[in-house]
Structure 1
Amino acid sequence: MNTTENTPPVRLLTPAELAVCIKVFRDARQWTQEQLAVIAGLNVRTVQRVEQGWPADADTCRALASAFDFLDIDALNKPFAIPPEDELKAAQEQFDLEHVTFAAIPLTTGKQLAELAQTSTMDMSELAFEMGGEADKRFAALMEYFRNYRDALDAYTEAEKREAADTMQANIDVLKTLGVSLCYAERQVLLKGSSDPDRPMPANVLYVIGFPLGKEPKLFATPTSVDIRL
């Protein structure tokens, strides 16, 4: 078999294809055209024209790639291997099968986080993008404090609970000054232990995700099943 026959042709995106890509990327983040224009540093009319299939110059493509956090800001100016439509559809179906999607709820107060300690059994928390050393340290400190609070919640007096919420609020405020915005979601799962896999244990998983301030999505996805060692 000639493998080159199954290799998609490499070429630049047409203006119509670029329009679809930009709209898909924007919709995935639940941004309006106005929000994308602000983040990319472009005129909103430029974004509208790109999504209408008008040709875009190299600088516009770089600005859009940067807004979507492409590692290579010239990616949209380079040739692509374009898969056929059936392959794209199959890839989307496979992604949907392997992932679950949540609404990203803004987490803005220490009181919110303190209340989540009462309902969550465990958490899976991370910064969605590389934020820098200080932001990484502050986020890790916040989540470590949260876990310690959750694990010893029954021992806290009401006054101590209010103090804990204030401490978490202070960390959230610092993260905001560092350009980090927090979102959360909760998920009911069944944990299967290696000792007794036939008797799964119910758990409520809390996801706390840090996004760049102003680039918070309305949805995020996570793998359907996760290997957690207890």
Structure 2
Amino acid sequence: MNTTLLNPRMLGFWARCVREAQHLSQDALAANASVNIRTVQRFEAGLPINVISRRVIAKALGYTDPDIFDDPKFIETVLKFFDGLRAQQQQDLDNQHPDHVRIDAQALVNGDAVARFADVVNAVSFTIEPALTDETKQIAASFCDYVQDLMDVDDFPVSSSLGFAKDLDSILEELRGLGASVYSATRDRKFRRVDWGDKPSWEMTVGYLAIVPADRELSQLYIPRWMKLA
């Protein structure tokens, strides 16, 4: 039978929550477990400690079973707790953006990926995080301009495509060097005017690019639920 192991950082965070709920300092927990405070700090940070230290910390936190951290039922309980916490955090975010929807995003790590993105979208929306430095914002703006120009190019030869990808690689590398990451997302939309009558809706793929600080890892983007075409 396969046993799910608890992520050490998740376990460390759980242990810290239990300790703080008992109004114990790290010093007090270390004293109760007869270990060095650095051992408690490492454990709560998700860093490895030896099995004996894990067992005495479990006892010091009030668990009767010293091997509780490896118990499948305990692990299941902790995982459910964090799943519920993430769901609540996501719901809180959704409530803060009632006029937006979430779509899956992915990091753009090379020029080829950017070129493919520009090739499939019919329109694009850009977001440059205000927290970035002015220098980074300037380069991010140049990147956005390049993508916009690339979208307007039709039927370019393979040699040109390679050149575009190399240029975009350089810009992405420069952004990474300045502590920024680029994320993309797409959404298929249908547009129509009230006066179109029986005419079919206009189908198009809208692209979204977000340039954010590198320490922000995005899996989804919030985008407006509705959009108008000029």
- State the Cα distance separating 1:102 from its structure 2 match: 1.6
1:35-54 equivalence runs, <5 A:
45=12, 47-48=13-14, 51-52=17-18, 54=20
Could you tell me which residue of structure 2 aligns to residue 217 of structure 1?
218
- State the Cα distance separating 1:208 from its structure 2 match: 1.1
1:127-138 equivalence runs, <5 A:
127-138=128-139
- State the Cα distance separating 1:137 from its structure 2 match: 0.9
Structure 2 counterpart of 1:200, one-letter code: S
What's the C-alpha RMSD, in Å, of the aligned pairs?
Answer: 3.4
Structure 1 residues not aligned, in runs of 5+: 1-31, 36-43, 58-89
Is the CA contact (8 Å cut-off) linking 1:189 and 1:203 kept in structure 2? yes
Could you tell me which residue of structure 2 aligns to residue 5 of structure 1?
none
Looking at structure 2, the residues matched to 199 and 56 of structure 1 have their Cα atoms a distance apart, in angstroms, of 66
TM-score (norm 1): 0.58
Structure 2 residues not aligned, in runs of 5+: 1-6, 26-90
Is the CA contact (8 Å cut-off) linking 1:99 and 1:222 kept in structure 2? yes
**1:180 aligns to 2:165 (yes or no):** no
Count of matched residue positions in the alignment of Structure 1 and Structure 2: 158
Could you tell me which residue of structure 2 aligns to residue 114 of structure 1?
115
Structure 1 counterpart of 2:123, one-letter code: M
Could you tell me which residue of structure 2 aligns to residue 191 of structure 1?
191
Structure 2 counterpart of 1:189, one-letter code: R
| 1:13-68 Cα distance to aligned partner (Å, 9 max, x none) | xxxxxxxxxxxxxxxxxxx9949xxxxxxxx94x54565582699xxxxxxxxxxx
**1:204 aligns to 2:198 (yes or no):** no
Looking at structure 2, the residues matched to 102 and 96 of structure 1 have their Cα atoms a distance apart, in angstroms, of 13
Structure 1 counterpart of 2:152, one-letter code: D
Is the CA contact (8 Å cut-off) linking 1:33 and 1:48 kept in structure 2? no
Looking at structure 1, the residues matched to 24 and 183 of structure 2 have their Cα atoms a distance apart, in angstroms, of 33
Looking at structure 1, the residues matched to 121 and 169 of structure 2 have their Cα atoms a distance apart, in angstroms, of 19
Looking at structure 2, the residues matched to 112 and 157 of structure 1 have their Cα atoms a distance apart, in angstroms, of 17
TM-score (norm 2): 0.58
- Residues 172/95 of structure 1: CA separation in 2 closer, same or farther (3 Å cut): same
- Residues 178/92 of structure 1: CA separation in 2 closer, same or farther (3 Å cut): closer
Is the CA contact (8 Å cut-off) linking 1:50 and 1:56 kept in structure 2? no
- State the Cα distance separating 1:162 from its structure 2 match: 0.5
**1:161 aligns to 2:161 (yes or no):** yes
Structure 2 counterpart of 1:100, one-letter code: V
Could you tell me which residue of structure 2 aligns to residue 227 of structure 1?
228
Aligned to 1:153, what secondary structure does the other structure show? Answer: coil
**1:144 aligns to 2:149 (yes or no):** no
1:81-96 equivalence runs, <5 A:
none
Question: Quick one: percent identity of the two aligned structures?
Answer: 15
- State the Cα distance separating 1:168 from its structure 2 match: 0.8
Is the CA contact (8 Å cut-off) linking 1:189 and 1:205 kept in structure 2? yes
